[in-house]
Structures are given as structure tokens and as C-alpha cells.
Structure 1
Amino acid sequence: MQTASSLTFDTDLGSDVDDVLALATILGSPELDLSAITTVYGDTLVRARMAARVATVAGRSIDPIVPGRTETRSGRPVWWAGHEGALLPDLDRETVATDSDPIGVLAASPTVVAVGPLTNVAEAVERPGHQIEQLCVMGGDFLSADPEHNIKCDVDAAAVVFGSGVPATVIGIDQTSRLRLGGAVVAELEAAGSLGQLLGAEMRQFWSFSASDSNVPHDPAAVLMLTDPDLFTFATGRIEVDGDGITPFTPGDGPHRIVADLDAEAVAQRIVDRILVACAGSPTQVINGGGRSSGRDLLA
């Protein structure tokens, strides 16, 4: 995969906590140039304002942050958890680019990291003259005949994206579900300053919502496909999307790569290391190989 010289993060941040953890992972990765954020699916203004708050707390200025498409291309009703933004007071004070064109922002970005339904991205790859050179996607399930959430939410959009021929590297829920972050990570984050406290609170909120005591960092793992490809085993071929959102993969020639295997412990550790860099506001603290996390019990 090419270096992400200019990256746009397309996200449904605010529902599952993994989106906000993915944003923190990007902010803790100095090799990534995060030039814009677009939000998708449901109340995208709330999602954009949440992203702006996270960036502010992290001491970063991301411009533009643009609310994107609210409705799905397929017409499927939007699933809304109901806790989006609940822990972040006065979100209406956050400045976001409501007058900007989210599709134009995406279409002008060489690299797009897409971790929500693909509604925005589908419109961007259809735009004549788009400059998207690579997509980095969290979505699909390549080991079962079950539809994954991001694909199922807008099957029509996913079919357009994977049928467009734009090169895409994709991690499915079959691999991300092998990852867990538990109480030890939350405690470490909450001791790491304002951003860590925000993230810890969001993680605990999602535990309550999902009746769990750990989080699956689906979306941060997608970021690591750019920064730490050595932690993954990829297979090249072609992804298709059927009418139910099932994503059969055919190995061989094709514009797509999927994660066929990963080093689960190292991926989880590296995610935490990069998030802690974002919390510290010091990108020089990244330790190659995940050294700072080595030996940490991430589920304790």
C-alpha cells in the first residue's frame, strides 16, 4: 500500500466507540497526514462535531471536518444507538464545515480511510476526475456468509465502491473480531490526560450499551493496515457484494486486498501505543514494534 500522503477519514463516529479510537490512532500516527474528516450515516452534524471535539482535546486542528450524507443510498433505515454525543456537552459550540461539499473533499483525497457505511465514498468514486488512489476500508466478512454492519447498512453503496475498480485494502469483521481491549487499557488511557479520559469514558459508555466488559477495535485495525502492514497477511483478488450485503472474495487478479490473517496481540498493542501518543501530544513517542505495550495484558 502506498504512503498516505494526504488522508481523509470517512466515519460514522459516535455510535460504536471504535470510530473515535480509530481517529485517536490516526492522530497518534505521525506518518499519516490527516487533511480532512467526513462523516456519514444518520445525524452527521453531531458526528462531525464529536470529531471536532476529539481533535480539539487532542490539541490538533483538522480542517475541514464536513458532515456528509445522512441517508443511505439503498434506502435502508439508519440505525441510531441514541448515545451519540451524550458525554460531550455543548457540542453545538464546535465549528465544522457545514457549507463544504463532503463528496468533493473525498474525491480530492488520494487516500480515504472509510470505517462506516460507504454512502459518501460511493458518490465520490462516481465523481468524474476523482483523485482517489487507494481506499482503506473496515467492512465485510470474508470467512462466513453473514453480512457485516457497515456493508449491510448501505448495500447499494458498497456494491458501487467495490465495483468501481478503485484499489481497496479491506479488513473484515472476521479478523477484527479477534481483537479486544479491556479494563487495563481503559485505566491506562484514563491516566493519560484529557484525551485519554474522553476515550475511556466513551469506551465505558459502549460497554454499558453492549453489555460487555471489553471493546473490539475494528476501525483502529483498519488504520494500522496503512501504518503497520507487516502485522497483517493480505490476499489479493476481487470483492463482490450481493443484495443481502454478503461479501464473497475471489482470490487472484483484482483491485482488492483483504486481510487473511493478523498478529492479534501485536495489532492490539500497536493500537494502544498509537492512541497513547495522541494522548500525550508527542508523536515522537511511537515505538516501532509496539515496544511500550509489549507484555501488557490488554484484557485485564
Structure 2
Amino acid sequence: TDVPVLPGSSAMRNGQPGSTRFTHSVEIGDWGLATNLQSLISSLQSPTIIALGPLTNVAAALDRDPTLAQRAQVVAMAGKLGAPYPDWNLRCDPLAARRVLASGVPLRMVGMHLTLRTKMRPAQLQRLFGRDDALGRFLGRCVLEWRTRKRRMPFLHDVLTVAAAADPSLITWQPRRVLIGPRGFSLALRTGRPNALVGVGVDIDRFWRMVEGELL
């Protein structure tokens, strides 16, 4: 199945430029430019929107199409339970996160307290990325970029979020009332009216079986 890769907003909801602090240099090729991201989202009857970065584009889509909150569902890599600091995605655009939470769109949040459990082990690295084919070589370049910059084994933050969208049963979810502060700090309260399903646990062994089953 072809998956369109489209550019989004270059500025946060408050008009400030978006951060490129974690931009990497691995070339993925020329995917072309989207002329109308909104038309793609609006053309889908019941889209699942997977947000791997700040929620800027999701908030903009909700602004432009009020019916989206009733038709779509969102799976977002956002939040970190029990941490005294905000995760990067919420910190980058807290206004957008508030807009999404206030919209009523069904929202599942996969936080860093879960994605930090996806650190790769050397044996997995060899099995998944040691193959001499186009996919293996591309993934190997991505891992090399990570290890060069971070000096440690990679975490599959984004992959867990996508996997949770494909199979929500990988995650243990709890309805919570999520509040976002001005600097992206978040609280996931058990009291009050819930506005999101927050991931509180993950079947990490089944996640790895899923990843290896797709790539090997």
C-alpha cells in the first residue's frame, strides 16, 4: 500500500518557527511536495491520524474541518507520566495540544514512559538491520545516524506509536483528563471528564515480535 508523505506547517500555533533541533541528515529521497494536505485528510471517511511530532498540523486540520473531530481518531506520541519535565512534542506546541484535547476527537496518547522501553539490543540490531537489501541498508543508515549523534542504542519511539495505531491491544489504556501547561507540562488526571486514552503499560515482547514479523 502506498503511503503519502506530505509536508506540514513550518510554524507553531502561536506563529513562531518550529524547532529543527532534532532534524537528522539521512536522505530519504525526493517524495515530492503536497499541494493540499487538508484535501487528503478531508477526503478520508474515517481517518486515523498518527502524530509523531508536535500536534500543530492536527490542530490546524481540526480548525479547517470541524467534522474531523467526529470522523477521525488520533494516535499521538505525547506526554510522559511521572516526569518533572515536559516531553518534546508537547513542549514544542502546547497550544496545538490543547486545541486537540478540547476538540473531542478520540485521542490515544503514547508517552515517553512507554517508548523508552523500546531500546534496541545488539542482537535485534543485527537481525533487523544487518541484511544486504535496500530496506536493510536504509535502516542501517538511520541507526548509524542515531548512534553517531547519541552514542547509544536507538529507541523505537515512533515505531511503538505506529504499532499502537495498528494494534491498540499492545497498550494498556486508561481514560484520563489531560491538562497541558503553557510550557508543555502535562497532567493525566484520574478525576474529571476524560479527554484522552493514556497508555499506561505496553506488552513489549509482543511489540518486538510485531516489528520483527513485519521487517524480516
Counterpart CA distance in 1 for 2:76 and 2:185 is 15
TM score, norm. by length of structure 1: 0.63
1:225 to 161, 164, 171: 164
Query: Is 2:19 the partner of 1:78?
Result: yes
User: Secondary structure at the residue paired with 1:140?
Assistant: coil
2:33 to 91, 94, 97: 97
* Contact 1:225/1:232 (8 A) holds in 2: yes
Following superposition of structure 1 onto structure 2, how do residues 22-61 of structure 1 map, counting pairs within 5 Å? 61=2
Counterpart CA distance in 1 for 2:18 and 2:48 is 29
* Contact 2:174/2:197 (8 A) holds in 1: yes
Aligned length: 209
Q: CA deviation at 1:226?
A: 2.6
Q: Match of 2:201?
A: 261
Q: CA deviation at 1:136?
A: 0.7
Q: Match of 1:244?
A: 183
CA RMSD of aligned residues (A): 2.2
1:120 to 57, 62, 65: 57
Q: Which moved further from structure 2: 163-172 or 263-272? A: 263-272
Q: CA deviation at 1:264?
A: 2.2
* Contact 1:103/1:120 (8 A) holds in 2: no
Counterpart CA distance in 1 for 2:176 and 2:60 is 23
Q: CA deviation at 1:82?
A: 5.3
Unaligned stretches of 5+ residues in structure 1: 1-59, 277-300
Structure 1: which amino acid aligns with 2:146?
A: F
Structure 2: which amino acid aligns with 1:114?
A: A
Query: Is 2:146 the partner of 1:216?
Result: no
User: Secondary structure at the residue paired with 1:245?
Assistant: coil
* Contact 1:237/1:251 (8 A) holds in 2: yes
TM score, norm. by length of structure 2: 0.86
Q: Match of 1:69?
A: 9
Structure 2: which amino acid aligns with 1:97?
A: L
Structure 2: which amino acid aligns with 1:111?
A: T
Counterpart CA distance in 2 for 1:171 and 1:211 is 25
Q: CA deviation at 1:72?
A: 1.7
Structure 2: which amino acid aligns with 1:79?
A: T
Query: Is 2:112 the partner of 1:173?
Result: yes
Counterpart CA distance in 2 for 1:81 and 1:133 is 28
Q: CA deviation at 1:225?
A: 1.6
Counterpart CA distance in 1 for 2:132 and 2:172 is 32
Structure 2: which amino acid aligns with 1:270?
A: M
Give per-residue Cα distances to partners, 1:255-290, cap 9 Å, x unaligned. 3101111122322332232233xxxxxxxxxxxxxx
Counterpart CA distance in 2 for 1:234 and 1:82 is 30
Counterpart CA distance in 2 for 1:164 and 1:221 is 25
* Contact 1:162/1:241 (8 A) holds in 2: no
* Contact 2:10/2:18 (8 A) holds in 1: no
* Contact 2:78/2:109 (8 A) holds in 1: yes
